Amino acid sequence: MELRQLEYFTAICKEMHFSRAAENLCTTQSNLSQQIKFLENELGLPLFDRIGKRIMLTEAGKILLEQSQSIFEHVDYAKRAISDLKRLEGGKLDIGILPGDGDLLFDALLIDFHKTYPKLSISVTETMDVYEQVLNGMRDLGVTTVPVNPDDRISIIPLFHEEFALAIRPDHPLAKAKAVPFDQLQQLKMVMFGSGHQITKVIEAYCHEKGIALDTPIVTSTLSTLLSLVDQGIGASILPRMLLDYINHDNIVAVKLLNPTPSQDICIMYRRDKFMGQAAKLFIKELQSFLQSVMNHSGRSSRADGDASL
């Protein structure tokens, strides 16, 4: 049994038509039929039922198709792994992240990572569909909230537990408070991200649970604008505590929220059945190290060190 014969067989299965499969393979229909005949003779069973001009897979054909797909996946994995060993510095890495996370997780990290691996091509895309894009193979890695009931093909590495805090000017009366009850937010003028942003979705869920509504006369899609609005006293906002500690804005203080304290779990994910190159493995380790340094800088400890068995 040869790989070429299996390629011919799977091409026929895709089209369920010998002549169309032959055209796609740039070979003759007679050669294609002959190779399938060789396969059937070797296996001792027919692979196709011929019903007039139509063909259908036999039980033996169904088994061979399933195993052929697995064989080609392993061959592709081996080719990519060997290629990766030969050209780490020339590889590519496509990462999906939630909107806004680039300001905290990636700006400084990408600069250092690029300096270490200058020939490595990295694409970072902000999207609300991180999980879906990793699952369908569009992204190599994804940094997002921990999904509920993830697909078995998705591998998840916990990164940190993220709490949200009230971002407010230091001259506001609440700025000196050690903590503010969550329902007190309805008494403030708030500036927030738009309704499609992950942070806003989290806060809206907590508001719904508490039965309150926030006064948000201004919404924006950019973090810099949001911080500027808080800085100028236009309103308060709700942002990740780690982000507020990291940027250390002179005119913005972070006040803890209580009853409840909004939070979410952040992870990095990838397809466990898809080849993971050295570039992706190195990036995961660099991200874990970077996050640990950020947490140490802000006096916090990581909820999960992200011990990944890659």
Three-class secondary structure assignment of the chain: CCHHHHHHHHHHHHHCCHHHHHHHHCCCHHHHHHHHHHHHHHHCCCCEEEECCEEEECHHHHHHHHHHHHHHHHHHHHHHHHHHHHCHHHCEEEEEECCCHHHHHHHHHHHHHHHHCCCCEEEEEECCCHHHHHHCCCCCEEEEECCCCCCCCEEEEEEEEEEEEEEECCCCHHHHCCEEEHHHHHHCEEEEECCCCHHHHHHHHHHHHHCCCCEEEEEECCHHHHHHHHHCCCCEEEEEHHHHHHHCCCCCEEEEEECCCCEEEEEEEEECCCCCCHHHHHHHHHHHHHHHHHHHHCCCCCCCCCCCCC
pLDDT at 301: 40
Compute mean pLDDT per 10 residues along the chain, 310 residues long, and list them.
87 88 88 89 89 87 88 79 59 82 68 80 87 93 92 93 94 92 94 88 92 92 90 94 85 94 94 82 87 70 42
pLDDT at 86: 56
The HSE-up count of residue 221 (CA atoms within 13 Å, CB side) is 4
Residues 185 and 65 in one domain: no
What domain count does the chain have? 3
Residues 133 and 272 in one domain: yes
pLDDT at 82: 67
Q: Point out which residues pair with 121 in neighbouring strands.
A: 92
Task: Of 82, 264, 87, give the one whose Cα is nearest residue 161.
Answer: 264
Residues 156 and 168 in one domain: no
Residues 9 and 133 in one domain: no
Residues 131 and 271 in one domain: yes
pLDDT at 4: 86
- Could you give the CA distance from residue 55 to residue 9 in angstroms, rounded to a whole number? 13
Residues 21 and 103 in one domain: no
The HSE-up count of residue 177 (CA atoms within 13 Å, CB side) is 16
Residues 103 and 186 in one domain: no
Residues 17 and 96 in one domain: no
Residues 146 and 270 in one domain: yes
On whether residue 307 sits in a domain, the answer given is no
Domain that residue 200 falls in:
163-263
On whether residue 219 sits in a domain, the answer given is yes
Judging by beta carbons within 10 Å of its beta carbon (0-12, 13-18, 19+), is residue 142 exposed, middle or buried? buried
On whether residue 92 sits in a domain, the answer given is yes
pLDDT at 305: 40
- Could you give the CA distance from residue 227 to residue 242 in angstroms, rounded to a whole number? 15
At 219, give phi and psi (nearest 5°): -125, 155
**pTM of the model as a whole:** 0.64
On whether residue 302 sits in a domain, the answer given is no
Domain boundary among 67, 86, 105: 86
Residues 106 and 40 in one domain: no
pLDDT at 306: 41
- Could you give the CA distance from residue 244 to residue 265 in angstroms, rounded to a whole number? 17
Contact 241, 160 (CB under 8 A): no
CATH number of the domain within which 80 lies:
1.10.10.10
pLDDT at 84: 61
- Could you give the CA distance from residue 136 to residue 231 in angstroms, rounded to a whole number? 41
Task: Of 275, 249, 297, 210, give the one whose Cα is nearest residue 80.
Answer: 275
Residues 64 and 10 in one domain: yes
CATH number of the domain within which 204 lies:
3.40.190.290
Residues 142 and 282 in one domain: yes
On whether residue 45 sits in a domain, the answer given is yes
On whether residue 231 sits in a domain, the answer given is yes
On whether residue 251 sits in a domain, the answer given is yes
pLDDT at 234: 94
On whether residue 31 sits in a domain, the answer given is yes
Domain boundary among 86, 109, 126: 86
CATH number of the domain within which 98 lies:
3.40.190.10
At 52, give phi and psi (nearest 5°): 65, -125
pLDDT at 309: 42
Domain boundary among 86, 101, 119: 86
